[in-house]
Structure 1
Amino acid sequence: MRRRTGRLLFAALAATSLFAGALPAAADTMPAEEQEDADFGFESFEASESAEAPQFPTTDDPRVGLQAGPGETAGQAILNLEKLASLPLAPGANTNSDLAFTGDYVISGNYNGFNVYDVSDPTEPQLRTSIICPGSQNDVSVYGDLLFMSVEATSAKIDCTSGGVTSANRFRGVRIWDISDIDNPVQLNGVQTCKGSHTHTIVEDPNDDDNVYVYVSGTAGIRAAAEPPFNCTGASSLLNRDTDNFSVTVIKVPLDDPDAAAIVNRNARIFSFCGDNSCEDDHANGSLNAFPPSNPQPLYPEGSGREPGGQSASQASTCHDITAYPQIGLAAGACQGRGLLIDITDPANPRRIDAVEDYNFAYWHSATFNNDGTKVIFTDEWGGGSGARCRATDPLTWGANALFDIVETNEGLKMEFASYFKLPMVQTNQENCVAHNGSLIPVPGRDIMVQAWYQGGTTVFDFTDSKNPVEIAYFDRGPNHPTSLQTGGFWSTYWHNGYMYGNEIGRGFDVFDLTTSEFLNEVEIAAAKQVQFDEYNVQGQERLVWPATFTTVRAWHSAAQRQGVLSAETDANLTKFIDRSEKSADSKNAAQRRNDAALLKAVGNQLGDSSVEQGLKNALSELSDTLR
């Protein structure tokens, strides 16, 4: 199966020290009810009673005190967004999970299988296809006509039926489906792994069009050694070089024969002393506790906002989620107790190049790069996503995002802490709330992200200034229940082709649109909507590229104005010559058209060296070339 062509389309133009010691024994026969909890919640980390309470705005935020209730009966608060549509949980679905995008379809994973929504009209999404195939979490990704699905539960079967699970018919790993007929997906062989697959990441090799790679993160128990076909081992000793702990698994998928997909690196040792498999003979393939971090962080002084808060930190023995950005040769691994920066220029053999820890983080969960690869955001799923973590007594540094700048040093690329971002309002004891899955919104010259926070709702924030992130839009519902915490809320909210799609764990599927505000003007939103992908997986980031249009140029100009980098004279000249060129763009006077187009490049030469000015200069130059 060859990948589709024309993937990128345009609308206008073609903590304290981590735990030491052994890990728990492998849970290869975990009961289904325990597996459900393990898949969803991980370890629950309780706040220290001595933790200093943060200062929240608790009185005037419309999200505070929303009425509880199931479905659309709950109270709702919305700012600078428009909710276009809401669909209830699809028949047969249980616990909505992650999303992937292909063509006019959104594929929604859930613990019982997956659903396909037709969003060709985002205001009226239609449920197109439902597949029942139990096996938490069933996180999904797409590549051409292939759908990949993560399966971790010990109760999942190869044939997607329920009951009667044995070592011979159990499936734990990555399922692969042929979705060339979107109404009739066909399950292919798939690939079994020792740890199953909690999440996975599609990784492209820029030098190889015939294969694609899948990084597999497994966080549950390891198969019993006797269970075929692996001879797996959950040994945690640093003296056992064969342990399936302290690693990620790499699968290679031949696109012409996906049934032949197979593991090419069973244990990629990105947790070792040297950061890859080259030092296995030194028995250095243990946890990150075993080596000093390459970017050590001292015990933060009191009052810094980063001193230890008292919550436990998870041991780093595998990655919960890996976000790959092949076009810059990097991946970011959110790996339980640490955040990793990974070189993926050789996709089959990833190599750690930096690691950071944070005394306020309990469980490094997921990661997002900004578009130019100079920043990375890590999320902390403190409490595993199943607890109320946005209360007035919960610090703003816990269960939050940590923003890092990626900087070039004499020792190579390093991650330097910039700030935290957490929802700037309180939620009740009845709402599970913590940082979870989100994606970039492609506004030229700005770093903007939409993100799910379980029952904290969905938020949009600007982190262009990585030291001062600012919330600019949100949507929230009241609790599922007025007196008890019933797990729910948004698992994922992602931007795709002009709209935001949210997967609510128990309430269903939502579609949102941005509205103009002091934070985003009409031209910035229009420019973001120009970026169109034929398919998109958030954990496999692709560079955002804008078409050469006046909308793009005006959005870059707005970004430069917002950042205050333009002199009054340069700002006036930009407005003058952009307007002039747009008026003559359709003129029959070719000489006038060429002259005005040349002025776009001329005014671009007045710009400075800041990244936003250079982006605007490039946009002016590209537009000028199309108008001549």
Structure 2
Amino acid sequence: MIRIVRHVALAAVVAALAAPAVTAQSYPAGGDPRDGLGSGLTTAGLAMEGMRLVASAPKPAPFDSVRGLTFVNSDLAFGGHYIYQGNFAGFSIWDVSTPANPRMVSVVECITSQGDPSIVGNLLFVSAEGGGNRNDCAKGGVQDPSEHMAGVRIYDVSDPTMPRLLKNVQTCKGSHTHTVIPDPKDAGVVYIYVSGNQGARTDMEGCVSGDDPADENNSLFRLDVIRVPLANPEQAAVVTGARIFTGLDPAPSRSGGRARSTGPRNCHDVTAYPAMHLLAGACASHGLLVDISDPMRPKRLDAAADTNFSLWHTAVFSNDGSKVVFTDEWGGGTSPMCQATSMLEMGGNTTLTIKDGKYTQHAYFKIPTGQGANENCVSHNGGLVPVPGRDIMVQGWYQGGVNVIDFTDPDRPIEIAYFDRGPIDAPRAPGDTAARGRGTIGGSWGAYWYNGLIYSSEMARGLDILELQPSHYLSANELEAARLVRYEQYNPQSQPHITWPAAFPVVRSYVDQLERGNGLPAARITAIRRALDGAEQASGAARARSLRTLAGQLEGDVARATDKARVRALAAEVLRLAGN
């Protein structure tokens, strides 16, 4: 079933079929510190709230160009103290063991035309899609189809100073993006779902073009699936096609007519949540929900379409799997779609809840500032910030900067922190029609929390490292609890399930949230904090007794609480801390 939302008036309630009303924000009123920042590639003005800039590292010399998209940075993957940064012309590896002084470890020049990376153990997977990509990574373009590489490159990065190409896995439509999904029964195998936007490469054996989505031989209406035996990555190969589009009707256009004669034939990006056996497919005209309990045989559960969404682009699940935020890449990422006059319902996010395998759409969200006409800006990539008890994500908006959003209430997402630079280019002078020096593409491709810090891939400038600061919206306890979550490796499109250790900062995070939301009377909040302080000063059996006593009292608080669920969660965390 497709749930369709049709556009009506700006900033108005939008009618939804089989869903509650979907609301949008009001237009920016002006006066935001991000408005009117000075321009410059390295000298642009800065504005930030609730975070600080730890470091900004420039692009390496081989990629130090702002010519179109040829040398822009793309997505990030994380492993240990290394960051793998994609680029349309290759990739870089950064050592961030000292975050204030990130160090370039290696640069691999290899035209990919996007280069999104993922890391599994010592294997780095890199997407390649463009028509000029060569198998041997040489420059000069493709003279013969046998030289062409479009698919996923596999590198050995066991020595990060000398990455070694192991194999090029060719796919029928290339690889715009890809997503790693572990085999649930074999830890030695991963699958790679490949999202490709090219037409079928009919010069390749087994690649067939066509218009019939029901044709099992048609290469267009599927995601290529690569099986990778981790101990023998040279044996990686396409083993099947994920036909998650079959039977899906076309989405209506904004005018009410059909935009295409068929439904989608590819996804721009898919986000897997292996722990929940779910995948959210951002598939151009639709947002899909897919069961991946068997990665070789995925099953579509539901699909959403929205006439306010120009391009369903990427997705982020809440940690409990009850929500998913989809982004809309209106304008393709190269246009200024965040101006004060830009549609608020387009080019931002929408939150969908998930119940019994079905979507219900809720509110829209867009950065609450009017960017300039010389700043490419739209909603782009991000991931969760691991604050217990809340659904918080960090996200890149190209030249709209980086922001942090609380979507715990799917009907009222709010911005709680941001970092922004002024435009790369100076505003165009009246009457200036020259192209030179204008329209530089830049900004945050994606921003992600990793082991206590936020890392943003700045397309034109390099790598930004940011740190969230305590504020009205985020307490010191919540940030300390978030820093307790540590990843060995992190691929944002293969979302990990977050767990927190039993710790006082986790418990105190729930107390802070109850205070912020008036979930309990102020006097009771004070008493709970006093009890926690006393328990922390004790040890062994005495601490456990104090915590169990407090947990029992909290169960008694539920009846008078205005946020009963959070009080119950607090009581459970107190018991867990007591060792029960």
Fold conserved (TM > 0.5)?
yes
Aligned counterpart, 1:249: 224
**Counterpart residue number, 1:496:** 450
Give matches, 1:462-501, under 5 Å: 462-482=406-426, 483=428, 484-501=438-455
Match of 2:59 among 89, 95, 103: 89
Task: Please give the residue correspondences for 1:384-463 in structure 2 after superposition, counting only pairs within 5 Å.
Answer: 384-408=332-356, 413-463=357-407
Structure 1 residue 595 displacement after superposition:
2.2
Instruction: Decide which moves more: 185-194 or 307-316.
Output: 307-316
Amino acid in the other structure paired with 1:271: F
Aligned length: 542
Aligned pairs for 1:232-243 (under 5 A) are: 232-238=207-213, 240-243=215-218
Match of 1:59 among 26, 30, 42: 30
- Pair 1:194-2:172 in alignment: yes
Give the AA of the match of 1:606: G
Give the drift of 1:616: 2.3
- Counterpart in 2 of 1:534? 488
The separation in 2 between residues aligned to 1:440 and 1:17, in whole angstroms, is: 27
Deviation, structure 1 residue 206: 2.9
Aligned equivalent of 1:514 = 468
> Alpha carbon RMSD of aligned pairs, Å?
2.5
C-alpha contact (below 8 Å) 2:114/2:127 kept by paired residues:
yes
- Map 1:197-596 to 2 at 5 A: 197-223=175-201, 225=202, 227-228=203-204, 230-238=205-213, 240-265=215-240, 267-273=241-247, 288-289=249-250, 308=254, 316-408=264-356, 413-482=357-426, 483=428, 484-566=438-520, 571-585=525-539, 590-596=540-546
Give the deviation of 1:591 after TM superposition: 4.7
Contact 1:113-1:131 at 8 Å conserved across structures: yes
Displacement after TM superposition at 1:568 (Å)? 5.8
Query: What's the secondary structure of 1:592's corresponding residue?
Result: helix
- Partner of 2:574 in structure 1? 620
Distance 1:144 1:270, change over 3 A: same
For 2:249 and 2:192, locate their aligned partners in 1 and report how far apart those are by CA, in whole Å: 23
Shift of 1:528: 0.7
Aligned to 2:555: 605
Q: Give the distance between the partners of 2:555 and 2:196, measured in 1 at CA.
A: 51
* Corresponding position: 1:177 with 2:159: no
- Hey, what's the Cα distance between the residues in 1 that align with 2:266 and 2:29? 38
Q: Partner of 1:145 in structure 2?
A: 122
CA distances 1:60-84 after superposition (whole Å, capped 9, x unpaired)? 101111111112x111111111001
Amino acid at match of 1:186: R
Residue of structure 2 in register with 1:101 after alignment: 78
* Cα distance between partner residues in 2 of 1:234 and 1:571: 64
Separation in structure 1 between the aligned mates of residue 404 and residue 219 of structure 2, nearest angstrom:
38
Q: Do the aligned residues in 1 keep the contact of 2:401 with 2:420 (CA within 8 Å)?
A: yes
Q: Deviations over 1:140-170 (max 9, x none)?
A: 0001111110000111111111125221121
Consecutive aligned runs of 4 or more in structure 1 exceeding 6 Å deviation? 15-18, 50-54, 309-314
- What is the 5 A alignment of 1:6-17? none
Quote the Cα distance in structure 2 between the aligned partners of 1:17 and 1:500.
Answer: 35
Identity %: 42
356-365 or 551-560, which deviates more: 551-560
Query: Within 1, Cα distance between the matches of 2:337 and 2:128?
Result: 27
Cα deviation, 1:413-436, whole Å, max 9, x if unaligned, reads: 211111001001101111111000
The structure-2 alpha-carbon separation of the partners of 1:607 and 1:192, relative to structure 1 and needing over 3 Å to count, comes to farther
User: Partner of 1:362: helix, strand, or coil?
Assistant: coil
Q: Which residue of 2 aligns with 1:7?
A: none
Given residue 596 of structure 1, which amino acid in structure 2 is its aligned partner? S
Amino acid at match of 2:36: G
TM-aligned CA distance change 1:169 to 1:615, over 3 Å: farther
1:367–1:610: structure 2 CA closer, same or farther, 3 Å change rule? farther
> What are structure 2's unaligned runs of at least 5 residues?
13-24, 64-70, 429-437
Secondary structure at 1:92's aligned position in 2?
helix
